[in-house]
Amino acid sequence: MDQDDYDSVIDSCKRLGEHDSHVWVMALSYFAKREDNCKTQMEEVLRNIDQQKLLPPLLVIQTLANSRVCTLGVVKVSHFQSAYQNFCHGV
């Protein structure tokens, strides 16, 4: 991660994520702190976090809120649609 090779970070998450899904959460924090364009990689991370239900949507938004370059525009409605539906059914 120190070399800013974003594709290698994603490849590592794919490889290691089978055994330790927490690497996707670490990648979210990592990409949220970057100051250059990593939208594609961030979308991949968010997709995996959503599919594996690794973080509640609010924690994802809080993580991204501190990002200088990663806006909430990167987070598409589809990433949180299932969480919203689950919330509505639980009420």
d(CA 1, CA 86): 35
- Whether residue 43 contacts residue 77, with contact meaning beta carbons closer than 8 Å, is answered with no
pLDDT digit string, tens, across residues 26-82: 999 999 888 888 888 988 998 899 889 899 888 888 888 877 766 666 665 555 556
Judged against a pLDDT cut of 70, whether residue 8 lies above it is answered with yes
Residue 69 within any structural domain of the chain: yes
Residue 61 within any structural domain of the chain: yes
Residue 67 within any structural domain of the chain: yes
Residue 1 within any structural domain of the chain: no
Residues 6+ apart with CB under 8 A from 48: 13, 17, 24, 54
pTM for the model: 0.77
- Which comes out higher in pLDDT, residue 34 or 11? 11
Supply the DSSP symbol for 75. S
pLDDT given for residue 45 in this prediction: 93
What is the domain range of residue 36? 6-90
Domains: count for the chain: 1
pLDDT given for residue 13 in this prediction: 96
